[in-house]
Amino acid sequence: MRRLPAFILALLAALQVPPALAAPEELTGQVVGITDGDTLTLLTPDRRQTKVRLAEIDTPERRQPYGSRARAALADLAFQRRVRVVVEDIDRYGRSVGHVYAGGRDVNAEMVRRGAAWVYDRYNHDPKLPVLEAEARAARRGLWALPEAERLPPWEWRRRAKAERDAEPGQRRAAPG
């Protein structure tokens, strides 16, 4: 009987469990940093720092109205707390993208409930998040209390900022001297 090469055996083994049925990766650890309203740094038990982007939500950028308050809301929910992260993906920046749980609280959903985050419709698969966003809007919680002109979704704000940068060719910053 002929033996199959190891890589073919590995490939066949990998095909036995469809990715959709595979258990999602989970991380645990203590939150040691808050970058902005939807990104934190997790220190795992093996002393590895991992950047985590909260899945299915988007918060105002730091220089955008409500950006610093969204960061403060995430800090209130997660900073220096032990959390569990159910990882859904790794983004193009190498961050783990997932749902963060502090105790029994779904941090992603709580950010939306508090009005500190938009539901990122493009990536959302959680039917409760749009309901929480509608409730926050109706109650004018968080960013929904801002004047309408200041409530620009972050994905649109980033697109406008990029368009403005691209419209200024040759406007490079001088190197520090």
Q: Which residues are known to be catalytic? A: 53, 61, 95
What lies within 8 Å, CB to CB, of 79 at 6+ separation is 31, 34, 40
Cβ neighbours of residue 71 under 8 Å, at least 6 residues apart? 34, 35, 36, 37, 59, 62
Tokens of 6: 């190891």
CA pseudo-torsion sign 24, 115, 94, 169: positive
